[in-house]
Structure 1
Amino acid sequence: MPSAFTAFSSLYFATLLMLLGSGLLGTYLGLRLAGEGVSEIWIGLLMTGYYVGLVFGASVGHRLIAKVGHIRAFVASAGLVTASVLGHALTGKVEIWLVLRVIAGMAMMCQYMVLESWLNEQAESHQRGSVFAGYMVVTFLGLVLGQVVLTLMPELAVEHLILVAMCYSLCLIPVAVTSRLHPAPLHPAPMKVRVFFERIPLALTTVLVSGLAMGAFYGMSPVFASNVGLDTSDIGVFMAVTIGAGLIAQWPVGWLSDRFDRSRMIQINGIVLTGVAMLIALVAAPGFWLLVLTAGFGLLLFTLYPLAVALANDHVEQEDRVPLAAMLLVTFGVGASIGPLLGSVVMKLLGAHWLYVFIGLCSFVLVVRVRPEIVTGEHLVQEAPLNFMPSAGNLASSPLGAALDPRVDEQMVVEQMIDESEAYAVAVSERDADQAEHRPG
């Protein structure tokens, strides 16, 4: 991994700055609106808008990169995010903030696509595992550092927005001054919805629940922490401990996942996560035990998505793993878009501590639904179980990230791209010939 960090330091640095800004902005906006007495539902809507933007940004990003190239697409997207962030300083109207969050989400997804396709293009075959893991470590680290900023700058002010805008401006530098050639664009892969619903229903259920819980956590837990008596500095620690525990848990859980039944591990995760979430709802007061519980909560929450991805890959053939990544991200995005809104409604009606009751009920679905005895193994691939890979599980990735995953055959991805390109060229040629045949005169 050290060699991968050295070789791709500029791209990792750009990713770190992006995630630092994203992590800080999400928490800042929630605390700022809560401090101004804005309804929890509006706060949830803002996070919902952000995730909706991320989901639709994948389609927009493909078109933009194909039209203007990687560097121009990245520069345009970073400029759009910077302007959106500064837009929050010009007005306090939450309706406008919602539009800005959607725009920022779409532009950020385009940035993820550029970075991931660039990493994939430059990584050697033997490096892909370490490059993939390094990308996830930098992602988690950026999110944690974004929360740490709040402990250093506890007074909520416009300076936080300026700092976020600076992060997105500075992330342009390592990409804009690169001397390397543009990577070849990847074509969007069909998601094969019906096939995946039939083959990996338990994995999709887990990904959906993970999205619901993760979206609710990122969107509303700063508001929960504020309501139970934590000040801004303590909320930064609260969030950083949760996300940091998720990072640390990736490797031990991965080691266990490669040796034990993954559906059983997801069910156990659901049981313990439900219990921990309910305990947080009961404690709901500043102190040492709240930090201990939120560390356990992060350990469990942030390993749900990569466990589900590993389970899904065990039951899908090599040629379908790129479409699978798109399907999983869209499923996660649907859950993450709904989670903050539902969580905010529950908090509005029943109280702040009910956020974790809601998350606990979401994870309880896994206890009931993901049972090892209903896994038939009919579609289990020959090389299963495949290696577990860490994942941030917060849509800080794009469908193009699948090409980096060492569980995906690199040559097969290239061949799939060539086939799609040839098919597209044939379709264009036939269309042009048909138009010429029917053209008057």
Structure 2
Amino acid sequence: MNTVFSGIWALLVGIVFIMLGNGMHFTLIGVRGGIEGFSATELAIVASGYFLGFMSGARKTPDLIRRVGHVRVFAALGSFMSAALIAFPLFTDPIAWTLLRVLVGFCMSGIYVTAESWLNASATNETRGKVLSAYMIAQTLGLIGAQGLMTLGDAATSVLFICASILVSISFGPILLSVTPTPATEVTRSMPLRTLFRAAPLGTAGMFLLGTVYATQAGMGAVYGTQVGMTPDQIALFIAMLFGGALLLQYPMGWLSDRMDRRKLILGCAILGASFCAAGALSAQAMWQLMAVAFLTGGVTTPLYALLLAYTNDALDPEEMPAASGGLVLIFGIGAILGPLVAGAAMERLGPSAFWMVLSATFTAVALYSAYRMTQRPPIAAADTDSYLGVLPTASAVVVEAAGAWAAEQAEIDRDTNT
């Protein structure tokens, strides 16, 4: 185990610092936007800007890396992101914030692609599962820790934005000073969405809907907290609960995933998500109930992402998986752009409880479609499925492809062992 992590510890440390800065900025946007008097619709547009930039960065970064190399791309994107974080309190205008969020999303996506390329190059077939799992844990811990840092300053000032910028700047030190090989970055061209849908209808539609759920939680959670009268500390705890649930419930979901029909588990998670969110709409004044709902909702959202990836891989031939991974990341990104816009418009018309109502309706759509698909295809035997790996929605196509390849290899090894 020590051998596995001796070559990647600096990368993991750097990722934690990046997620600390990025996680702070996500919550800050909602809190500071409320202080500045931005409407729910305006903040929804700002939130969607990040995911628009993220999707653009995922498609453009491999070309940039091929032209000028990993180190230059990584350093340039980090510098732009750090500068953008400082600029938020200087330009308190929805249009300026939207443009800055597009820039931050683009940079963050490129940083992921570059760092994940280094991480993947540091792993072997035997260690890839452990390395990717450690990476996902580092990301989640950084996001949770960011909410704790939110309590150390006043969102009405520029202090917390400056702290986020500093954390992002610091993160590049251990990464750039430790990586020695320059890995090849070859992200496979995405499978056309029509082809992907024909091959895996539930995975494709589910990813689109889940993209709206995740982006609404991450982008509009702090906006909801502001509108129901939470203090900044309570908002930080609320967001931490969303990611904390994902961290703690990922393993049991994965254990179940390898032992039962994944469609049933997807259906169960979606029903639970819809139920939890419906309870959230009825608990606006009960603070600890809201925290519990956030924990449980986040606890089914992130595992559902990995479940949909795993189920889609089960329906494909191994040579199709890399292209399908790119298509799934793309359709998830499209949903992520639209999610906050829908939630923001609903919150503007119906009040803050619409945050939960939109989430509940989307989970219900996932449940209904998964139930329908169960009538259209026979189940895949658990022994014939690929292994589950807890991939996070924040991962780029580099990790999604690597996780798919590892899952297929691991499943093949398990089948050979059993026979």
The 3-state SS of whatever aligns with 2:143 is helix
User: Would the alpha carbon gap of residues 310 and 95 (structure 1) be closer, same or farther in structure 2, given more than 3 Å must change?
Assistant: same
Aligned residue number for residue 401 of structure 1? 399
Deviations 1:211-253 (A, max 9, x none): 1111111111112112222100111111112211111111000
User: Would the alpha carbon gap of residues 230 and 5 (structure 1) be closer, same or farther in structure 2, given more than 3 Å must change?
Assistant: farther
Task: Measure, in 2, the Cα distance between the counterparts of 1:360 and 1:403.
Answer: 30
User: Would the alpha carbon gap of residues 303 and 156 (structure 1) be closer, same or farther in structure 2, given more than 3 Å must change?
Assistant: farther
Matching of residues 154-303 of structure 1 within 5 Å: 154-178=154-178, 180-303=180-303
TM-superposed CA distance for 1:304, in Å, is 1.4
| RMSD of aligned residue pairs (Cα, Å) | 1.9
Aligned residue number for residue 374 of structure 1? 375
Q: Is the 8 A contact 2:45 2:340 kept in 1?
A: yes
Q: Is the 8 A contact 1:53 1:105 kept in 2?
A: yes
TM-superposed CA distance for 1:118, in Å, is 0.8
Say yes or no: does 1:331 pair with 2:318. no
Aligned residue number for residue 423 of structure 1? none
Say yes or no: does 1:136 pair with 2:136. yes
User: Would the alpha carbon gap of residues 80 and 96 (structure 1) be closer, same or farther in structure 2, given more than 3 Å must change?
Assistant: same
Aligned residue number for residue 364 of structure 2? 364
Provide the TM-score with structure 1 as the length reference.
Answer: 0.88
Aligned residue number for residue 391 of structure 2? 391
Say yes or no: does 1:99 pair with 2:99. yes
Residue 190 of structure 1 aligns with an amino acid whose one-letter code is S
Provide the TM-score with structure 2 as the length reference.
Answer: 0.93
Task: Measure, in 2, the Cα distance between the counterparts of 1:89 and 1:5.
Answer: 38
Aligned residue number for residue 425 of structure 1? none
Aligned residue number for residue 31 of structure 1? 31
Task: Measure, in 2, the Cα distance between the counterparts of 1:85 and 1:146.
Answer: 14
Q: Is the 8 A contact 1:321 1:402 kept in 2?
A: no
User: Would the alpha carbon gap of residues 288 and 194 (structure 1) be closer, same or farther in structure 2, given more than 3 Å must change?
Assistant: closer
Task: Measure, in 2, the Cα distance between the counterparts of 1:289 and 1:122.
Answer: 43
Matching of residues 101-140 of structure 1 within 5 Å: 101-140=101-140
Deviations 1:297-333 (A, max 9, x none): 1111222111111110111111111111111111111
Aligned residue number for residue 430 of structure 1? none
Larger radius of gyration: 1
Task: Measure, in 2, the Cα distance between the counterparts of 1:146 and 1:243.
Answer: 11
Identical pairs, percent: 27
Q: Is the 8 A contact 2:18 2:168 kept in 1?
A: yes
TM-superposed CA distance for 1:178, in Å, is 2.9
Consecutive unaligned residues in structure 2, runs of 5 or more: 411-419
TM-superposed CA distance for 1:383, in Å, is 6.7
Deviations 1:24-82 (A, max 9, x none): 10110111011221111111111101001110111210111001111111001101111
Residue 313 of structure 1 aligns with an amino acid whose one-letter code is N
Aligned residue number for residue 347 of structure 2? 347
Residue 157 of structure 1 aligns with an amino acid whose one-letter code is T
Q: Is the 8 A contact 2:89 2:157 kept in 1?
A: no
Q: Is the 8 A contact 2:187 2:397 kept in 1?
A: no
Aligned residue number for residue 145 of structure 1? 145
User: Would the alpha carbon gap of residues 249 and 179 (structure 1) be closer, same or farther in structure 2, given more than 3 Å must change?
Assistant: closer
User: Would the alpha carbon gap of residues 383 and 328 (structure 1) be closer, same or farther in structure 2, given more than 3 Å must change?
Assistant: farther
Q: Is the 8 A contact 2:14 2:172 kept in 1?
A: yes
TM-superposed CA distance for 1:260, in Å, is 1.1
Matching of residues 44-123 of structure 1 within 5 Å: 44-123=44-123
Residue 391 of structure 1 aligns with an amino acid whose one-letter code is V
User: Would the alpha carbon gap of residues 251 and 117 (structure 1) be closer, same or farther in structure 2, given more than 3 Å must change?
Assistant: same
Aligned residue number for residue 314 of structure 1? 314
Task: Measure, in 2, the Cα distance between the counterparts of 1:109 and 1:408.
Answer: 26
User: Would the alpha carbon gap of residues 206 and 266 (structure 1) be closer, same or farther in structure 2, given more than 3 Å must change?
Assistant: same
Q: Is the 8 A contact 1:322 1:408 kept in 2?
A: no
Deviations 1:162-192 (A, max 9, x none): 1111122112212322351211221442323
Task: Measure, in 2, the Cα distance between the counterparts of 1:290 and 1:58.
Answer: 34
Task: Measure, in 1, the Cα distance between the counterparts of 2:190 and 2:257.
Answer: 28
Q: Is the 8 A contact 1:71 1:175 kept in 2?
A: no
Task: Measure, in 2, the Cα distance between the counterparts of 1:117 and 1:387.
Answer: 22
Task: Measure, in 1, the Cα distance between the counterparts of 2:151 and 2:90.
Answer: 25
User: Would the alpha carbon gap of residues 367 and 129 (structure 1) be closer, same or farther in structure 2, given more than 3 Å must change?
Assistant: same
Residue 249 of structure 1 aligns with an amino acid whose one-letter code is L
The farther-off stretch of 154-163 and 122-131 is 154-163
The 3-state SS of whatever aligns with 1:407 is helix
Task: Measure, in 1, the Cα distance between the counterparts of 2:234 and 2:3.
Answer: 36
Consecutive unaligned residues in structure 1, runs of 5 or more: 411-441
Number of equivalent positions: 407
Q: Is the 8 A contact 1:228 1:286 kept in 2?
A: no
Residue 364 of structure 1 aligns with an amino acid whose one-letter code is T
Task: Measure, in 2, the Cα distance between the counterparts of 1:18 and 1:301.
Answer: 22
TM-superposed CA distance for 1:384, in Å, is 2.8
TM-superposed CA distance for 1:408, in Å, is 5.0
Deviations 1:388-425 (A, max 9, x none): 111221xx221111343112559xxxxxxxxxxxxxxx
Deviations 1:343-364 (A, max 9, x none): 0000000000111001000011
Q: Is the 8 A contact 1:200 1:315 kept in 2?
A: yes
